[in-house]
Structure 1
Amino acid sequence: MSNYNAVSARNTADAPKSTGPYSQTVAFSHYNNLSAQLPIDPKSGEMVAGGIKEQAQQCFENIKAILESIDHVMDDVVRLTTFVKNISDIDAVDEVFTTFFPGYVPTRTTVAVAALPLGALVQIEALVSNGEGTIPQAPQAGDLIKVARNTDNAPRSPLSTQTVAFSHYNNISAQLPLDPQTGEIVAGGVKEQADQCLKNIQAILESIDHVMDDVVRITLFVKNVSDIETATAVYKTFFPGYMPALTAVVASALPRDALVQIEAVVSHGDGTPPQAVEDARNIVIKANNTDNAPKGPYSQTVAFSHYNHISAQLPLDPKTGEMVAGGVKEQADQCLKNIKAIVESIGHAMGDTVKINIALKNIEDIEAVDEIYTTFFPGGVPARRTVGVSALPGNALIQIDAVVSNAEGTPPKA
């Protein structure tokens, strides 16, 4: 096992102590997964004074402090996800963003949600490259190169890169339903908008010699919970056979007043230099399902290289397909039991989890959720993100998805 990557959770006093049972950053293989950062002053432990600009500044300062504590810099960020309370605050956040990324810009997703922990106006999370890898006592020889690319066949923005590849993954900026030729939202409803979002993702992939079946995870951000079914139906037309892991999040608002926005995580079998193309080109995507967890229009877990991506789990009893009885504690327990069943079905354990994402109908429920959460993660190792949403499918109170380490990796094609 000494040649296997290890989960490496780290914290620094230069960033705010976690407000729950989670780590500031969890590295595995070639990525660092940072917990979403709130605008908390690490010295006082209190929310910073001021408005959206001051809060955004503190979030970025916290991310920077975490990165510096693990010998990384802001230009190592591959993807940023920004959650704001008010969609009108995006421009102010972008002003602050440009001071931290004056040259290279990562892939980005920006969403307005119903509520954020501690009543914050903004919360920002980062996915960061980890060129040295996490094989104990065996740092990788040579620095892997981050490859940022854009195409005119998809909407472009000076504030984000369409795709940033690092090691064996491509991370795609969340795509709005914009016609790349006009830069305007396409006509029609959520069906037409979801189709355009996915066409934009497809154009980006084709520009880097990839196809839609290389996608391992899709995240749908929709304005209305009732639109999830329609958006999912469109998603299925782009994935008629194999289906990636899937998470749907209800936003209170999206940029440009869109009805839907779609983010993709994509396999990158050829890797980034100096990884040898001939050694890695045909790494297999492994999609798995188990009868011990609820099934849906997605793969429950999709493994590629050194990560497993778990579809968002609702509090559904896998035997009945119905919502479990009780309140948020019982629902959180069922969501985590479903994740555990999926993880165990592929020969892994909950301790292999590197990132957890929680969506809550009532943000005030987080303390009750943590009571259950700590029974599944007693060491508080995974990084974490929590947002409040206006609604969840089936009128659920909670939804949880996960990213899990895959130390053994996925094999090359025979």
Structure 2
Amino acid sequence: MSDIVRITVFVKDIKDVDAVDEVYKTFFPTYVPSRTTVAVAALPMDALVQIEALVSHGEGSIPNAPQAGDLIKLTNNTSNAPTSPLSTQTVAFSHYNYLSAQLPIDPKTGRLVTGGVKEQAAQSLKNIKTILESIDVPFDDIVKMTIFLKDLSDVEAVNEVYSTFFPDSAIARAVAYVPARTVVAASALPMDALVQMEAVVSHGDGTPPQEIEDRHGIVIWANNTDNAPKSSLSTQTVAFSHYNHLSGQLPLDPKTGQLVNGGVKEQAEQCLKNVKAIVESIDHVMDDIVKVNIFLTNIADIDAVDEVYTTFFPGGVPARRTVGVSALPENALIQIDVVVSNAEGTPPKA
């Protein structure tokens, strides 16, 4: 269990978190991974809780050539951002760094900041920035952001704040770099917050015994294609080292920018077509996908989605999580985001 770097806890009722935490503690008596906790509208099989884990894999996956398996995790907490006995603010392993989802908590008081969703969004982002500064990692090394909103209609206000944080550095501004992004409606968030943000960060220094000097051979590759919907607030795909993070895909026709006609089947197909277009635009195939996240406004639609889904993955299906949400951007019925394996790595382009 100590190989786990991030846990995501989905509950049906936010009031159940305390009970979940009592059990949770018994599984992590000393080390605690980074963590995200969200209440959602529904879970498969009418479950009350769903837990997802991301696990470090030191021995790698090179055929017939296991690596030493001696890479260590680096964990860090700073008192300048909110701390919790049940999670570590940031856990790094190899070339990635996973931050616990940040609530709009003022670290000095331990309470939510005063104000509305804009002030809360700014505080969440400030907390992320503070955590990254504490480990000497620039803000623009973020490759993927997930934003959980209590009320999806707050997204415009959050975007106003968000765009003041990204891009951060002059270099990132010059290339207009923004991370991949997914926006999710939560039925409730811890401490009754209006917003919570989670970051995945590239970690070029690696973790010992990897040499820090080796980082100069790895860069972020960001890419957009005209064959999938574009947004000024997110990059369709951001690759770093051996992984590639895609922005959440809605069932939008890239030519018109509108929702496709039809029901959830047609929408699921369009989401997956958009994913496929992005994956193929960077010379990958659907079989390279290692993880899929599906968000549905009606959890009962899962069977219809599965009929379409299996046609896109004839060679076997990736790991997956499915969550029911109260609403999706553009009034969509479904949203899909994926993580793709990137075996060739991301060396600097000549």
Instruction: Structure 1 unaligned segments of length 5 or more: list them.
Output: 1-73
Letter in 1 for 2:22: E
Structure 1 runs of 4+ aligned residues shifted over 4 Å read none
Give the match for residue 108 of structure 2. Answer: 181
C-alpha distance in structure 2 between counterparts of 1:184 and 1:282, whole Å: 42
Q: What secondary structure, in the 3-state scheme, does the structure 2 residue paired with 1:384 have? A: strand
C-alpha distance in structure 2 between counterparts of 1:82 and 1:392, whole Å: 20
Q: What secondary structure, in the 3-state scheme, does the structure 2 residue paired with 1:79 have? A: strand
* 2:145 is equivalent to residue 210 of structure 1: no
* 2:327 is equivalent to residue 400 of structure 1: no
Letter in 2 for 1:255: P
Give the match for residue 65 of structure 1. Answer: none
2:93 to 148, 157, 166: 166
> Cα RMSD (Å) of the superposition?
1.0
* 2:209 is equivalent to residue 274 of structure 1: yes
> What does 1:216-365 align with in structure 2 at a 5 Å threshold?
216-240=143-167, 241=173, 242-281=177-216, 283-296=218-231, 297-365=233-301
- Alpha-carbon offset, residue 378 of structure 1: 2.0
- Alpha-carbon offset, residue 234 of structure 1: 1.6
2:72 to 145, 159, 169: 145
Distance of aligned partners of 1:309 and 1:276 in 2 relative to their CA distance in 1, 3 Å threshold: same
Report Cα offsets for 1:61-104 as digits up to 9, x if no partner: xxxxxxxxxxxxx1100000000000000000000000000000
- Alpha-carbon offset, residue 277 of structure 1: 1.2
* 2:312 is equivalent to residue 376 of structure 1: yes
Report Cα offsets for 1:326-377 as digits up to 9, x if no partner: 0000000000000000000000000000000000000000000000000001
Q: What secondary structure, in the 3-state scheme, does the structure 2 residue paired with 1:266 have? A: strand
C-alpha distance in structure 1 between counterparts of 2:47 and 2:133, whole Å: 39
Letter in 1 for 2:209: P
Residue pair 1:80, 1:107 contacting (<8 A) in 2 also: yes
Q: State the identity as a percent.
A: 75
C-alpha distance in structure 1 between counterparts of 2:214 and 2:101, whole Å: 30
Give the match for residue 21 of structure 2. Answer: 94
C-alpha distance in structure 2 between counterparts of 1:281 and 1:75, whole Å: 29
Letter in 1 for 2:320: R
1:199 to 111, 126, 148: 126
Residue pair 2:150, 2:189 contacting (<8 A) in 1 also: yes
C-alpha distance in structure 2 between counterparts of 1:346 and 1:159, whole Å: 38
C-alpha distance in structure 1 between counterparts of 2:159 and 2:290, whole Å: 27
Alignment size in residue pairs: 341
Report Cα offsets for 1:240-293 as digits up to 9, x if no partner: 331000000000000000000000000000100111111124520111000000
- Alpha-carbon offset, residue 235 of structure 1: 1.6
C-alpha distance in structure 2 between counterparts of 1:81 and 1:131, whole Å: 21
Instruction: Structure 2 unaligned segments of length 5 or more: list them.
Output: 168-172
C-alpha distance in structure 1 between counterparts of 2:97 and 2:69, whole Å: 20
Moved more, 76-85 or 403-412: 403-412
C-alpha distance in structure 1 between counterparts of 2:308 and 2:338, whole Å: 16
Residue pair 1:309, 1:402 contacting (<8 A) in 2 also: yes
Give the match for residue 170 of structure 2. Answer: none
> What does 1:26-41 align with in structure 2 at a 5 Å threshold?
none
* 2:347 is equivalent to residue 411 of structure 1: yes
